[in-house]
Amino acid sequence: MTGCAGCHEHWGESMRVRDLSSLGSLGRLGAFLLPLAIVILTGAASARAQTPSAQELNTWQRQMRQALPSQARTAPSQGQTAASQGGCFSATYPNTQWQQLTCVPPPLLPYPPARGPRAETVGNGNDVTAQVTSGTIGETIGSFDSVVGVVSETGQVGGTGAQVANTFSLQINSNFFHGTPACSGAAEPSECEGWQQVVYSNAGSLVMQYWLINYYAECPSGWTSDGGSNCYENGFNAASGLPPQDITNLVNMT
């Protein structure tokens, strides 16, 4: 799930990972994924409704994915511009209708790789990495199958100011991968790697973000420096108007 009006609380290490390393071309990947629909499913029921079971939520989520609007399934054909494709949509349990959201230009807020040593807590001991052997990725899904002891969370909006409750982002990240032509202008192209994120910000937006890791040179046109050795750029659109989620509802989000 995913772009951002800006949070630096990263929960992405706990999301399921998709490996894009065998695609070999960040440019090709971006051309395919940027126009695709941005969608989010949430399991938050109303205060009057009974809390759905995991099986009920899974059934509903599967039905909703199958019922995606046609414009959310259409890849751009030759001669069509990326801006004319796709769209932004949201659905909340138990409603069975997709609601179209406004797509807006995503804010230039970097979501850099985690720094420093990290505990190996991804997957709660059941880590998996999907391998892409050919073609491109058309769908990416992340969820937390089990959440224990999460009662509250605070963070700085945009990395500054006071601590605000429920300021977080959720990410699905690829592994770093070699071979993207976008690294050709790097100081050491063989050391440069591509990286892609799908980022949901609880500030109410969803975006895809692309990175050139270890670029160590002036960023290519259209890319922005993270202030260090890396460059990043956003997808064409971000969804806006998503309802904020309480961190205690994490287990019901997909």
Give tens-digit pLDDT for 12-65.
322 222 222 222 233 223 222 333 455 656 654 443 446 778 788 888 888 888
40 or 192, higher pLDDT? 192
The reply to whether 151 falls in a domain is: yes
The reply to whether 84 falls in a domain is: yes
The reply to whether 245 falls in a domain is: yes
Task: Check if the beta carbon of residue 5 is closer than 8 Å to that of residue 169.
Answer: no
The reply to whether 77 falls in a domain is: yes
Lowest mean pLDDT across 40-54, 90-104, 178-192, 215-229: 40-54
The reply to whether 227 falls in a domain is: yes
pLDDT at 53: 80
Residues 18, 131: Cα–Cα separation, whole Å: 7
Q: Distance of alpha carbon 54 from its chain centroid, rounded?
A: 23
The reply to whether 50 falls in a domain is: yes
CA nearest 182: which of 140, 228, 222? 222
For residue 130, what pLDDT band results from cuts at 50, 70 and 90? confident
The reply to whether 62 falls in a domain is: yes
71 or 151, higher pLDDT? 151
Q: Assess whether pLDDT exceeds 50 at residue 194.
A: yes
The number of folded domains in the chain is: 1
Helices (H), 67-113: none
Mean pLDDT of the region 190-205: 89
pLDDT at 73: 61
| % residues pLDDT > 90 (the chain) | 24
pLDDT at 126: 72
**CA angle, 142 as apex, 138 and 146 as ends, to 5°?**
160
For residue 105, what pLDDT band results from cuts at 50, 70 and 90? confident
The reply to whether 116 falls in a domain is: no
Print the domain residue range for 134. 12-108+125-252
